[in-house]
Amino acid sequence: MLGDCICPGLALAQAIGRWGNFFNMEAYGLPITEPALQFFPIAVNIPSDGGWHMATFFYESVWDAGVFLVLWLTRRKHHRDGDGLLWYLLLYGSGRLLIEGLRMDSLMSPGGGLRVSQLLSLLLCLAVCLVLIGRGFRNADRSAKGVSCLALAVMLALGGLLLFGELSIGLRELCGAGYALTGCLTAFRWRKGVPA
């Protein structure tokens, strides 16, 4: 229950805190060489690194603000203790999985295919999906069970492909978007009055 109360504010605090990366000129993304894209909010000029880079701090700030809005607007739709915390973990982890792939200054995992924070985000998202799916199976609604089975199959397939490095970097970002889409679909089900 306490986690449900804290998570919307935590997401908002993270959205604001990401601006510290701008002032410190850190946590920026890949270089942008196309002059037409060298403007904020797409890119940020990093003089110490000699050019324009993706403004990943801004991307994450916007993502975290979106997480705050989703959590705040759906807070009355959560039917069980811990729902808000689970959705925060899923949405934040999805954003981290996507955005971290665009950064230059991340710690790479020993295998070299994923960054450490992406791997942790992926594991977090899979764990949260399993908890949400388990909750769906305890629900009496057959459609919730069907959606839970489909979500489990998709998440395990994408997670397995991502972990074993069979996907290109562009598809890794799509996997993270799949997690976010699953969250949005379940939030839509909540809005229709079907608890997850």
Question: What band does 185 get if pLDDT is binned at 50, 70 and 90?
Answer: low
Is the pLDDT at 65 greater than 90, yes or no? yes
What are the residue boundaries of the structural domains of the chain, listed by start?
A: 2-191
Q: Which residues of 47-86 are buried (b: 16+ CB within 10 A; e: fewer)?
A: eeeeebbbbbbbbbbbbbbebbebbeebeebbeeeebbbb
Question: What band does 131 get if pLDDT is binned at 50, 70 and 90?
Answer: confident
Question: What band does 182 get if pLDDT is binned at 50, 70 and 90?
Answer: low
CB of 54 within 8 A of CB of 29?
A: yes
42 CB-near residues (< 8 Å, 6+ apart): 32, 54, 55
Task: Please tell me the pTM assigned to this model.
Answer: 0.69
Report the pLDDT value the prediction gives residue 52, as an integer from 0 to 100.
92
CA distance 147 to 194: 12
CB of 146 within 8 A of CB of 61?
A: no
Cα 160 → chain centroid: 17
Strand-strand pairing, 51-54 and 43-46: antiparallel
Is the pLDDT at 186 greater than 90, yes or no? no
Type of residue numbered 176: G
Token digits of residue 76: 């009355």
Element (H, E) at 164: none
Q: How far is CA 128 from CA 75, 99, 106, in A?
A: 18, 19, 24
Question: What band does 184 get if pLDDT is binned at 50, 70 and 90?
Answer: very low
Mean residue pLDDT of the chain comes to 75
Report the pLDDT value the prediction gives residue 12, as an integer from 0 to 100.
93
Q: Read off the pLDDT of residues 133-157 as tens digits, 9 standing for 90 and up.
A: 777 766 655 545 554 555 555 555 5
